[in-house]
Amino acid sequence: MNYISLFSAGGVGCFGFKQEKFECIATSEIIERRLNIQKYNNKTKYKNGYILGDITEKTIKNKLFEAIKFYKEKENVKDIDVIIFTPPCQGMSVANHKKNDGTIEKNSLVVESLEIVKKIKPKFFVSENVRSFMNTKCIDHNETKTIKDAFHNWLNEDYFYEDKVINFKDYGANSSRTRCLVIGVRKDLINNVYPNDLFPAREKEKTLKEVIGNLPKLEKMGEISSKDIYHNFKEYREDMRAWIHDIKEGESAFDNKDIHKRPHKIVNGKLIPNANKNSSKYTRQYWNHVAPCIHTRNDILASQNTVHPEDDRVFSIRELMLLMNIPKEFKWTSTSEETLNKLTIDEKKQFLKKNEINIRQCIGEAVPTVIMQKIAKNIKDVLINGKKTIPPNGQTRLI
């Protein structure tokens, strides 16, 4: 079983396919430090499968096709089983308040993906993006259209596919994350499986307490668990601690009655209150609620829903990993965790100073590993067992 991954970041979501014993033929990423994380996890079978650079450039795209050709010849493979593509969502996300005309060009990375799917013709494809994905505008060879129309124009001839907007918390993920999933099946396989059969199965949602409640408390600024380098109290300005110290679950630092405990800055000796533009900033989370959506800026108090339910800090890396269903065996560096945990406290701090932001960004941009793992398992059942299915009543096979 094999797959190709486009716009892979650190490879967090794709790790679910590795868990189900799929071999990665090629993986593309534009930022080297993120591609390196994929290398730490031995993602591709052959070294030429790591494609660094802008996939829109002809030379980079040719490297992708060369890696695919190499794998097919080396492994005597005729068909590609799966292509996963999760293009950057700038301009699509409702959280992006600074949209401009350039975002439509960024969304055209979707069209690049569709062209690659059309050329390679894998048995299945999986795409994940923000909830507004299919209705967002893109540029398809100088023509502006919705991404939904681009899918239809490029893939209608060869694929049945279905798109669904779901919250991953209802499908096994340990945090809330509403996203659009698009899954396609090549038409010659439609007697064996329908797109709807490949979506992850529903599960009972889990509370924040159930997911991370057993981890040790971290009360000292800069503290790192002696048994886990990734369970850490990320430091921030000491004077800001008073802003969140007294707030209860569900409260924001902006709720403090004392103006000195509300987010502010001092200019020429005068207190200037910070603007409260987003109600989820500096907000302490609830133990008995599902964890919030993990964002890219999960490293600061001023971002959305980052404050721990009890401790005066943002979630640790380990907590974020659990909330995004990232297994413990996933590697952020070539050095083993056992070795990292034996470092001195100063060495640990140096390691985190160098690597923490990259790790946190990769987590915030990822698909929860369990979601891709479930999809991979469903595809594996078809590839290995030739699963036969009956289309459910009302199934729309072509969107």
**CATH no. for residue 113?**
3.40.50.150
Give me the residues paired with residue 125 across strands: 83, 184
Q: What is the 3-state secondary structure (H, E, C) of the chain?
A: CEEEEECCCCCCCCHHHHHCCCEEEEEEECCHHHHHHHHHCCCECCHHHEEECCCCCHHHHHHHHHHHHHHHHHHCCCCCCEEEECCCCCCCCCCCCCCCCHHHHHHCHHHHHHHHHHHHCCCEEEEEEECCHHHCEEEECCEEEEHHHHHHHHHCCCEEEEEEEEEHHHHCCCECCEEEEEEEEEHHHCCCCCHHHHCCCCCCCCCHHHHHCCCCCCCCCCCEECCEEEEECCCCCHHHHHHHHCCCCCCEHHHCCCHHHCCEEEECCEEEECCCCCCCECEECCCCCCECCCCCCCCCCCCECCECCCCCCECCHHHHHHHCCCCCCCCCCCCCHHHHCCCCHHHHHHHHHHHHHHHHHHHHCCCCHHHHHHHHHHHHHHHHHCCCCCCCCCCCCEC
C-alpha to C-alpha distances, 220 to 241, 293, 316, nearest whole angstrom: 11, 26, 13
Is 195 part of a structural domain of the chain? yes
Do residues 129 and 181 lie in contact, with contact meaning Cβ atoms separated by under 8 Å? Answer: no
pLDDT on residue 104:
54
And the tokens for 320? Answer: 């974020």
* Same domain (yes/no): 88, 200: yes
C-alpha to C-alpha distances, 159 to 73, 185, 228, 297, 352, nearest whole angstrom: 25, 6, 46, 37, 45
* Same domain (yes/no): 223, 171: no
Number of domains in the chain: 2
Phi, psi of 179 (to 5 degrees): -140, 165
Residue range of the domain that includes 248: 208-364
And the tokens for 114? Answer: 């569709």
And the tokens for 120? Answer: 């390679």
Tell me the one-letter amino acid at 196.
N
Do residues 183 and 162 lie in contact, with contact meaning Cβ atoms separated by under 8 Å? Answer: yes
Is 399 part of a structural domain of the chain? no
* Same domain (yes/no): 356, 216: yes
* Same domain (yes/no): 250, 315: yes
Is 260 part of a structural domain of the chain? yes
Terminus-to-terminus CA distance in the chain, angstroms? 27
Is 219 part of a structural domain of the chain? yes
pTM confidence score: 0.91
pLDDT on residue 241:
97
Do residues 225 and 193 lie in contact, with contact meaning Cβ atoms separated by under 8 Å? Answer: no
* Same domain (yes/no): 284, 178: no
Radius of gyration in angstroms for the set of CA atoms belonging to the chain, rounded to a whole number? 22
Tell me the one-letter amino acid at 193.
V
* Same domain (yes/no): 115, 192: yes
pLDDT in tens, the chain (399 residues): 999 999 999 999 999 999 999 999 999 999 999 999 999 999 999 999 999 999 989 999 999 999 999 999 999 999 999 999 998 865 443 444 344 444 555 567 899 999 999 999 999 999 999 999 999 988 888 888 999 999 999 999 999 999 999 999 999 999 999 999 999 999 998 777 899 999 999 999 999 999 999 999 999 999 999 999 999 999 999 999 999 999 999 999 999 999 999 999 999 999 999 988 777 899 999 999 999 999 999 999 999 999 999 999 999 999 999 999 999 999 999 999 999 999 999 999 999 999 999 999 999 999 999 999 999 999 999 998 876 555 554 443 433
Is 234 part of a structural domain of the chain? yes
- CATH number of the domain where residue 293 is located: 3.90.120
Place of tokens 């068909």: 79
* Same domain (yes/no): 221, 147: no
And the tokens for 107? Answer: 């969304």
* Same domain (yes/no): 312, 245: yes
Is 137 part of a structural domain of the chain? yes
* Same domain (yes/no): 302, 325: yes
Is 106 part of a structural domain of the chain? yes
* Same domain (yes/no): 296, 257: yes
Is 397 part of a structural domain of the chain? no
* Same domain (yes/no): 334, 381: no
- Residue 255's nearest CA partner among 284, 289, 219, 235 is 284
* Same domain (yes/no): 160, 287: no
